[in-house]
Amino acid sequence: MEKKRPALTTFSDDENAFRDAVRSFAESEIKPIRNKMDDESKMDRTLVKKLFEMGLMGIESPEKYGGAASTFTMACIAVEELARVDGSVSVLCDVQNTLVTNAFLKWGSESIKDKYMPQLAAQKVGAYALSESGSGSDAFALKTRAQDAGDFYEITGNKLWITNGNEADIFIVFANIDPTKGYKGITAFVIERGMSGFTVGKKEDKLGIRASSTCELLFEKCKVPKSNVLGEVGKGYKVAIETLNEGRIGIGAQMIGIAQGAYEAALGYIKTREQFGKSIAQFQGVQFQLSQMRIQLEAAKLMVYNSARLKDSGLDFIKEAAMAKYYASICSEKICSMAIDMFGGNGFTKEYPVEKFYRDAKIGQIYEGTSNMQLQTIAKMELGI
């Protein structure tokens, strides 16, 4: 009989035990199918079910909703350890916890929480739909409209680059109920798969995190009950800003996880690869590269977990989150690139894992706020403008 894997609640606040459990899960359940998912550009549905069974999809959700009632820091640990094996699975878990669950926790009415949070903790994947073709970094330039139709709103428009689009059943969608008010007309809605007028469109064919579905969402007079407004009407911009500030720490955790996976692969390889009669690990040039990788990785980890603990403590963390995401994503790409260098020609092939880590790392500088947007946030806060 297969031994049942312990759920997150088993570990309470023991971060080391939890980290070990998630690492074991990633090694045994994700690693054997990682390449298949990447090649097929498709998330394994059975694996998603196992993420729920492990308790990894409701880490911060209160126990009354079926969650683990744990901390944001624990969510970051899970994201990091999953990314150490596969960035695609990591971002699925990350969006569920740091964006969707956090938005429901902070902005949801009691009726919305009672209806949706148990589903999100137990079985249903969530997605966060803000971006459009004309609103990326300028998030509030969105064109999706919400028309008041009496007992409900009618949503019309398109969303692009929506993570978890294929897997999700519950979507947080941003639309403007009054464009004359600019960003103060933006409102967040909870939309379910299957609602009339809502269709999930094409899945993007991407460079990295290929098993993670990135999809277009289509709305044509999609009828949404007024009770499904998340937060207040016209305050969707606050939901978006504050949730994304938290989500950036999660992306930082994903990036250090990817970098850790690449670093460990390189460390193992240089000990066994021989040239000129000895392992390449004995060459000073390789040792210096390895040391640089380790220093950058440790610095990025400190920044990510510093911002996570500030968030958990209820302290200001916006600048620290921006710095953590910026630095972790830059370091991750560099560490993964150096790992390929250490593998030589082998590193450029799909037979070894580092080329995938490299492809997966690139997205960290783009989604949930580009590197330039993080630099702008940091500068504005430093200058007080």
**pLDDT at site 224:** 98
- Split at pLDDT 50, 70, 90, the class of 253 is very high
**pLDDT at site 140:** 86
**pLDDT at site 259:** 98
For 319-335, write each residue's pLDDT tens digit. 999 999 999 999 999 99
Q: Once rounded to an integer, what is the mean pLDDT over residues 342-350?
A: 97
Q: Which of 29, 132, 355, 368 is catalytic?
A: 368
- Split at pLDDT 50, 70, 90, the class of 3 is very low
**pLDDT at site 12:** 53
**pLDDT at site 2:** 42
Q: Once rounded to an integer, what is the mean pLDDT over residues 195-216?
A: 98
Sequential DSSP letters for 226-247 = GGGEESSTT-HHHHHHHHHHHH
Indicate if the pLDDT at residue 174 is higher than 80: yes
Indicate if the pLDDT at residue 345 is higher than 50: yes
Known catalytic residue at 368: yes
Task: Spell out the domains of the chain, with CATH numbers in brackets.
Answer: 8-125 (1.10.540.10), 127-234 (2.40.110.10), 238-383 (1.20.140.10)
| Cα 19 to Cα 28, 73, 362, distances in angstroms | 14, 11, 25
**pLDDT at site 13:** 65
Is residue 96 within 8 A of residue 125, CB to CB? The reply is yes
Whole-number average pLDDT of the chain: 95
Q: Once rounded to an integer, what is the mean pLDDT over residues 127-131?
A: 97
Q: Once rounded to an integer, what is the mean pLDDT over residues 292-310?
A: 98
Indicate if the pLDDT at residue 148 is higher than 60: yes
Q: Rounded CA gap, 175 and 195, in Å? A: 16
**pLDDT at site 71:** 96
Burial (CB count within 10 angstroms: exposed 0-12, middle 13-18, buried 19+), residue 156 = middle
**pLDDT at site 139:** 84
Amino acid, single-letter form, for residue 111 = S
For 36-85, write each residue's pLDDT tens digit. 999 999 999 999 999 999 999 999 999 999 999 999 999 999 999 999 99
Q: Rounded CA gap, 290 and 346, in Å? A: 18
Sequential DSSP letters for 279-298 = EGGGSHHHHHHHHHHHHHHH
Amino acid, single-letter form, for residue 198 = F
Contacts of 234 (CB under 8 A, 6+ apart): 177, 178, 181, 184, 185, 186, 187
What is the pTM for the complete model shown? Answer: 0.95
Q: What is the H or E stretch that residue 334 is in? A: helix 318-343
Amino acid, single-letter form, for residue 268 = G
Q: What percent of the chain has pLDDT over 70?
A: 97
**pLDDT at site 136:** 86
Indicate if the pLDDT at residue 101 is higher than 90: yes
